[in-house]
Structure 1
């Protein structure tokens, strides 16, 4: 409670000071001292706490952030098709937030304020905005000095938001990544419209955004097209599994859920992993604990098509995606070099940022919170392992491999006595 009060106080005071300052800071490739004067470490979500593992800290780059409006042409309009006798096609709108290594001009500050929403649009009267502070600079000039950088696509849950993992997006950008986080239409807190649309469009959105970023002039020279990764949370991880080559089982559950759209999402012999994506982080993927099959709605044989390295992150008491179901999916991805990080006794919320101070109602608070774990600490641990994973598999940094070589008695990068409640499993692909 004391830390939350301090956070709110510093947020209010710091925002006022920043607003009043004339600003005279020049861009560098190190931390911005002005930003830390106003908001010292430990006051912005994602900052390393005293017990954070080694790779939780930010990297050498300043971080820029931009908002893009993209349109995926000639997509099925699932919402209107569901109530029509014919298939309706439209240009599907997608808002995408992009974080990237940046150079600050005189007067620019390494701070921004994000606006997101509590409640959800399908519950009348519940939707309301909240703001939180980030360590990024809006529309800063891209830093091409050490580029091109790996591109990482981020995909939220159902419902969700492109800002739900902002702490991780900023952190990766500071380490030399371009990170594109999607607001999936029909599936955000502001437009909760259709679970069917979510299932049909997740993988399509992910594939489109990655390719669109890579061909846009501003990002084309900044991104390495041979080093593209994906991060998915819950239904975002569901979509990522589809992008990696997995499909659903054509069973009664799937037919009941998705009706006429079933042929679009079931496993087919012709379905292959998208070759653009070279590594994936899967937070609590959905669908493995639905029905009586060990892999739920998923086709077990198609999970074997996943042939890129994967990092799976889950809570052992997940009651949304189901921990046993997640483990079943993990075990079925037999051709992937894979890692499983488990937060013992945690529920489903192993990916989002902490609850904002205005989340006073139980439902709002438990969108982010966990009854056992400090979410800020989870965020730091995520930053550590996601950095190690992508640095090794996308940047080919051999030093990063050390942090993935975890044993029951050795956790590289962790301080003494700080691995209680964690389990880490490594499995080689099947020969």
Structure 2
């Protein structure tokens, strides 16, 4: 399909979407990421809380710099991380909550894909007053892919905040569009970044803390959400230790470095790092299994409830020998696998930005977000529904099991929460730990 045709269909979707009475409106009638299509499932909609958003910078001091070696040793460096935090907020009903997010297309390490700044709208209020009426809210930490940004899943982060969660998305240093660097940094730092941010949010949310999150969140009740390399890191953070083959491959990529050994299954330091404050994991298209980063022992170490989300044609992380193999091998976890039939790897991010359709922009920018056989807004609504159900069960003790305990396909009966005929193209597997 020609780019002009793609642009026409994309803009037509926005025009039709704005006309639907089920879709919330911005002041200029713009369809915003996460708004509801008419066929969205039951739990996709927003919750009762207003949503605030703030940006925060934190520094993880004295981390191993795996991208540089001197005389066979790694120097240490201070690893700065930018966080975007969405939270329940007090917002006037007479003033629609809107925010302008600033991001970039392209890759800083690819001259053929130069960085192109763009903005997009969201339904949150910048620096709004937190709503403390709900007490200390569960914490959700979100980790993007390689390359990506903390703003890659705003449809989901805003949605969860409206339902009474504090959601913290990380810009993983050396792994974003703006500061892309060598892949060993991503392999090494994903789980470490997640665990550090958990510790920082616990520290900053102490009632004695002079921060806007003081008393706002309960770090003892945390979930991790990761996409692609974010899923890779999230699984490792909670018990899926890396294999000897992963350590060997990392050494080949990082000039002989053995730094990844501390995240390997047989490392005492790894087992000591597992944090009981994390209660559940959502892993969108987690990378690594096809490359041997886990073996049977490592996958058996995953014991937390886990929701996997995958495309059956994923050509980045793999499906049968990739994501589904992780699901099958995580024998000690109560786990679900939601599969988008005929989808590839982009089952988690926002839809393609309008900026990706502009003349002169590399088609790769559009395809970085797009799914060839699925409507991305539809995927977003379905993700909102299932993540709401899964986290509602494990962080809020809500009676949402009926939304997850489904026939494998709709041929086995209607799916609870879906409008008639609207669960076609989806599969849901469920396996219980012994």
TM-score by length of 2: 0.88
Cα deviation digits, residues 154-208 of structure 1 (max 9, x gap):
0001111000001100000000000000000000000110210111110110011
Q: How does 1:30-429 map to 2 (within 5 A)?
A: 36=25, 38-40=27-29, 43-79=31-67, 81-82=68-69, 85-104=72-91, 109-124=96-111, 126-216=114-204, 217=209, 218-251=212-245, 252-258=248-254, 259-260=256-257, 261-270=259-268, 271-272=270-271, 273-290=274-291, 296-324=292-320, 325-360=322-357, 361-398=362-399, 400-407=400-407, 408-429=412-433
Structure 1 residues 221 and 7: CA distance shift in structure 2, 3 A: farther
Q: Which residue of 1 aligns with 2:4?
A: none
What is the CA–CA distance in structure 2 between the aligned matches of 1:319 and 1:74, rounded to whole Å? 36
CA distance in 2, matches of 1:8, 1:397: 34
Q: Contact (CA 8 Å) 1:76, 1:89: kept in 2 or not?
A: yes
Go from structure 1 to structure 2 and tell me whether the alpha carbon gap of 1:10 and 1:328 turns closer, same or farther (over 3 Å shift): closer
Residues 82, 105 of structure 1: alpha-carbon distance in 2 compared, 3 angstrom cutoff: farther
Offset of 1:9 from its aligned partner? Answer: 7.9
Asked whether 1:4 is paired with 2:10, we answer: yes
Give the Å deviation of 1:88: 1.2
Q: Which runs of 5+ in 1 are unaligned?
A: 12-32, 291-295
1:15 corresponds to: none
Displacement after TM superposition at 1:409 (Å): 1.2
Q: Secondary structure at the match of 1:318?
A: coil
Measure, in 2, the Cα distance between the counterparts of 1:382 and 1:302.
27
Higher mean alpha-carbon deviation, 259-268 vs 109-118, is at 259-268
Give the secondary-structure state (helix, strand or coil) at the position aligned to 2:133. Answer: coil
Please provide the CA RMSD for this pair.
Answer: 2.2
Q: Name the CA distance, whole Å, in 1 between partners of 2:100 and 2:159.
A: 16
Distance in structure 1 (CA, Å) of the matches to 2:182 and 2:71:
15
Q: Does structure 2 conserve the Cα–Cα contact (< 8 Å) formed by 1:342 and 1:424?
A: yes
For structure 2, which runs of at least 5 residues remain unmatched after alignment? Answer: 1-6, 18-22
Corresponding residue SS for 1:289: helix
3-state DSSP class of the match of 1:201?
helix
Secondary structure of 1:359's counterpart equals helix
Q: What secondary structure sits across from 1:231 in the alignment?
A: strand
Q: 2:53–2:85: 8 Å Cα contact kept in structure 1?
A: yes
Deviations 1:308-330 (A, max 9, x none): 10000000000000012111111
- Structure 2 CA distance, aligned partners of 1:417 and 1:8? 23
Pair 320,416 (structure 1): closer, same or farther in 2 beyond 3 Å: same
